[in-house]
């Protein structure tokens, strides 16, 4: 594995009456896409903003290539915030040029426009872009300095499925350029597709970290059986199975698929609409962080 480009050590961030980040440590190898996952209020954005150098930690340290965050990091980092407004009355091209002018080195504006598929929008007022177009512009801005490390904080939240997939393709093309990417997201599909390594945060702590497949193997080796809720007889709830209620279905997780199927058949549970699938990152996420609604 490559050497760590970013090292996070004992990071704590406290606000009056609350601890947003409670002693987080991890390192990010160069050239990987590192996903920071967690439910709302888990401390992801606070952690990533401390890593970006725009929020000071209460205690702890972030090091970039072995040094505390400083001028070199600012020149080398590209950032796409969860929410960013740009200067009014500028076109797409002018917005990119504004940020390009803040860095000593980087990509040409034309190259960024091409890279983020903004050719047809280059002369358009940046305020008049759709959600997906706006994210592509913000990604172009995050890439103006040809960053060694790129932070993407929930980049596809609020985008429609087409725009989201289009954005994923862009991120994969950036990954192909051997850039290190730090990604926070709510979408497990996004993390599974893009991330080489993930850390799951909850209540200010990292509760699991590693490559997605390894985490699934370690924490969620079960198979899931899904049945429509209305076809699941109330009496079957008494069966010795790990039954989980989802919105319109019942899920049964098991290590022993054959024994579970036998139990269901013996209880005369209708299996006409049975679906069997392996556990995915979302199942792991729910397993680790719980299913209750957060206040």
Task: For residue 12, list its beta bridge partners.
Answer: 22, 59
Q: How far is the CB of 84 from another protein (least distance, A)?
A: 5
Q: How many CB atoms lie within 10 A of CB 250?
A: 20
> Is 75 a binder of another protein (CB under 8 A)?
yes
> Is 71 a binder of another protein (CB under 8 A)?
yes
Name which position in 102, 221, 246, 267 contacts another protein (CB under 8 A): 102
100 and 109 in contact (C-beta within 8 Å)?
A: yes
Sheet holding 197-202, edge to edge: 77-80, 149-153, 180-185, 33-37, 197-202, 205-210
Q: 2: which DSSP letter?
A: P
Selection from 6, 45, 46, 41 nearest residue 26 by Cα: 6
> Is 154 a binder of another protein (CB under 8 A)?
no
Distance CA 177, CA 36 (A): 21
Near another protein by CB under 8 A, which window of 5-13, 21-29, 80-88, 113-121? 80-88
Binding to another protein by CB under 8 A, coded x per residue (else -) over 246-265, reads --------------------
Quick one: 103 or 244, whose CB is closer to another protein? 103
How many residues belong to the site for another protein (CB under 8 A)?
19
> Is 85 a binder of another protein (CB under 8 A)?
yes
Near another protein by CB under 8 A, which window of 77-85, 154-162, 203-211, 227-235? 77-85
Task: For residue 62, list its beta bridge partners.
Answer: 8
Q: How far is the CB of 104 from another protein (least distance, A)?
A: 8
Q: Which of residues 37-66 bind another protein (CB under 8 A)?
A: 52-54
Name which position in 14, 84, 94, 280 contacts another protein (CB under 8 A): 84
| Residue 249 φ then ψ, to 5° | -145, 170
Distance CA 133, CA 174 (A): 17
Q: How far is the CB of 81 from another protein (least distance, A)?
A: 6
Q: How far is the CB of 53 from another protein (least distance, A)?
A: 7
Angle at the Cα of 274 (from 190 to 219), degrees rounded to 5?
45
Quick one: 84 or 254, whose CB is closer to another protein? 84
Find tokens 């279905």 and name the residue: 249
Give the binding site for another protein (CB under 8 A): 52-54, 71, 74-75, 77, 79, 81, 83-87, 99, 102-104, 141
């Amino acid at each position: 594995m490559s050497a760590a480009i970013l090292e996070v050590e004992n990071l704590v961030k406290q606000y009056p009456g609350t601890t947003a980040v409670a002693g987080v440590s991890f390192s990010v190898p160069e050239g990987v896409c590192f996903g920071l996952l967690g439910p709302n209020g888990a401390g992801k954005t606070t952690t990533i903003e401390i890593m970006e150098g725009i929020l000071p930690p209460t205690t702890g340290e972030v090091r970039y290539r072995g040094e505390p965050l400083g001028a070199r990091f600012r020149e080398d980092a590209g950032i796409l915030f969860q929410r960013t407004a740009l200067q009014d009355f500028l076109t797409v091209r002018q917005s990119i040029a504004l940020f390009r002018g803040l860095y000593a080195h980087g990509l040409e504006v034309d190259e960024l426009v091409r890279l983020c598929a903004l050719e047809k929008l280059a002369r358009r007022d940046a305020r008049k872009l759709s959600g997906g177009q706006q994210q592509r512009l913000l990604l172009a801005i995050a890439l103006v300095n040809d960053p060694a490390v790129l932070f993407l904080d929930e980049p596809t939240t609020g985008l429609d499925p087409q725009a989201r997939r289009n954005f994923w393709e862009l991120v994969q093309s950036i990954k192909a350029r051997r850039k290190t990417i730090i990604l926070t997201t709510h979408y497990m599909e996004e993390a599974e597709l893009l991330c080489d390594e993930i850390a799951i945060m909850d209540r200010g702590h990292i509760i699991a970290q590693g490559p997605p497949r390894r985490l699934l193997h370690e924490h969620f080796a079960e198979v899931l059986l899904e049945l429509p809720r209305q076809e699941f007889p109330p009496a079957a709830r008494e069966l010795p199975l790990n039954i989980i209620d989802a919105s319109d279905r019942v899920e049964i997780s098991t290590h022993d698929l054959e024994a579970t199927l036998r139990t269901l058949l013996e209880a005369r549970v209708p299996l006409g609409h049975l679906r069997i699938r392996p556990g995915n990152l979302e199942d792991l996420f729910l397993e680790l962080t719980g299913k209750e609604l957060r206040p």
